[in-house]
Amino acid sequence: MDFKDNTKPIYLQLADRLCDSIVGGEYIDDSRLPSVREFAALVEVNANTVMRTYDYMQQLGIIYNKRGIGYFVSQGGAQLIKQERLNLFLNEELPELFHRMRLLDISPEQLTEFYTDYCNKQ
């Protein structure tokens, strides 16, 4: 895995990747995640880093551990992730976007047009 954000700890970048997979439907409620060792080998990091990622996600209620079996996605895990990300977007990212829009004289109508164009290209 390529770690691009030098300001964000690797275990949080791994959590973001797993959360993307959960929200994207790769892992659904009660589905098993790769073992700590499997995921560590896949992303080429130390197993302790993956363990820290799993512990973090478990504290948030996104995943749970079945002792001796592995880690699984909690019921409503994707919804928890979406809600947390929505809060982050509304409270941190959106104010920054609005600030930049004001500085660059971008109107709400222009933003709507840019967004529509973006969606049409996807």
pLDDT tens for residues 50-76?
999 999 999 999 999 999 999 999 999
Q: Which CATH architecture has domain 10-77?
A: Orthogonal Bundle (1.10)
Please report which confidence band the pLDDT of residue 122 belongs to, taking 50, 70 and 90 as the band edges: confident
Give me the residue label for tokens 């929200």: 23
| Alpha-carbon radius of gyration of the chain | 18
- What residues does each domain of the chain span? 10-77, 78-121
Residue 19, judged by CB atoms within 10 A of its CB (0-12, 13-18, 19+), counts as buried
pLDDT digit string, tens, across residues 9-57: 999 999 999 999 999 999 999 999 999 999 999 999 999 999 999 999 9
Strands (E), 1-122: 63-66, 70-73
What per-residue confidence (pLDDT) applies to 34?
97
Cα–Cα separations (whole angstroms), residue 108 to 33, 88, 104, 114, 121 = 41, 21, 12, 10, 20
